[in-house]
Amino acid sequence: MKWFRNHKQISIIVTVMIVLMFIIVSSYSNAGSSFFGGHVIHNIITFIQKPISGSANGVESGLKGIFKFRTIIKENEALKDENSALKLENIKLKLNKKELKDLKDLSNILNYNSVNDNYNYVTADVTSMDGSNWFNIFTINAGSKDGLYKDAVVMDGYGLIGRVLDLGSNWSKVISIIDESNSVSFKVQREKDKDLLGILSGDGKGGLTGFMLDPEAAVVEGDLLITTGMGMYPEGIAIGKVDKIELNPDTLLKTLKIESTVDFKSIEKVTVIISKS
């Protein structure tokens, strides 16, 4: 007994080993029975395995979550790329439609008989403007090498825009009829009243104002004004409609506020008509 007291640790280890051996042998001998020791061992092992199994499942679930997250990110990036491609394609389609519309609008120029018979055409794009909100003076990408010359008439499918003010070999500067320094003679488009003549120019605000040469001229709101053919502009090109009529008490002339047929805020393409002679 004295030896056991002096060697407590060894004695405990030996005792535990003997008990474990006894339990193992008993469990083997009573396989499939309800031996109490077997239940105890089974419960202990199960208790130990639970956290280990739970950790393993947690790790596995975590890994699955990480891989799934990465997959979602890849799919999201792919969708973003596809969406960007579709947006770009949509923009191209819109540009193509706009280009076709512009060209179709310009083709309306062919309806002006006086222009169609005596002039050739050069279509050009607007490349810059003078910095104002209106296209008083702007530049196009056609010049002398394309047959353009100073005072060549510029228009679009809706009507008169202006004339070439200056040019180089591959560019031209256009001054429009809404510029205050540019005057145009006009007449009212009517079958019965062909002598209703007047002069118009820009009002400095992107619009047009004019006056009738005959103070008794029977002009009314809504009348369409066209070029007379006098001066540089061919006859019959649409200019605008009469929006308002007032009598100037100083000059005793009928002054007109005119709504242009051309949108001078959004000109992108023009046609320059060039004399065949």
For residue 176, name the pLDDT band (cuts at 50, 70, 90): very high
The CATH homologous superfamily to which domain 117-275 belongs is Rod shape-determining protein MreC, domain 1 (2.40.10.340)
Express the helix, strand and coil content of the chain in percent, nearest 5 each. Answer: 40, 30, 30
Pairwise CA distance, residues 207 & 249, whole Å: 22
Using alpha carbons, select from 104, 106, 97 the residue that is nearest to residue 124. Answer: 106
Domain boundary assignment for the chain = 117-275
Q: What is the pLDDT of residue 91?
A: 47
pTM assigned to the model: 0.61
Give the pLDDT mean for 230-237.
88
pLDDT at 209: 94
The stretches of the chain forming alpha helices (DSSP H) are 2-6, 8-29, 36-107, 113-118
Q: How does residue 178 score in pLDDT terms, banded at 50, 70 and 90?
A: very high
- Write down the pLDDT at residue 124: 92
pLDDT at 115 over 80: no
Mean pLDDT, all residues of the chain: 75
269-275 vs 224-227, strand pairing mode = unpaired
The total number of residues written for the chain in this structure: 277
pLDDT at 104 over 90: no
Tell me what the mean pLDDT of segment 154-175 comes to: 94
121-153 per-position pLDDT tens digit: 898 999 998 877 788 999 999 999 999 999 999
Burial 200-221 (b: 16+ CB within 10 A, else e): bbbeeebbbbbbbeeeebebee
Between 160 and 11, name the one with better pLDDT. Answer: 160
| Residues 180-201 pLDDT 10s | 888 999 999 875 656 789 999 9
- For residue 214, name the pLDDT band (cuts at 50, 70, 90): confident
pLDDT per residue over 80-99, tens digit each?
666 666 655 554 555 455 55
- How many angstroms from the chain centroid is the CA of residue 60? 48
19 versus 157: which is more confidently predicted?
A: 157
Tokens (6 digits) for 270: 């023009």
Give per-residue burial for 15-44: e unless 16+ CB within 10 Å, then b: eeeeeeeebeeebeeeeeeebeebeebeee
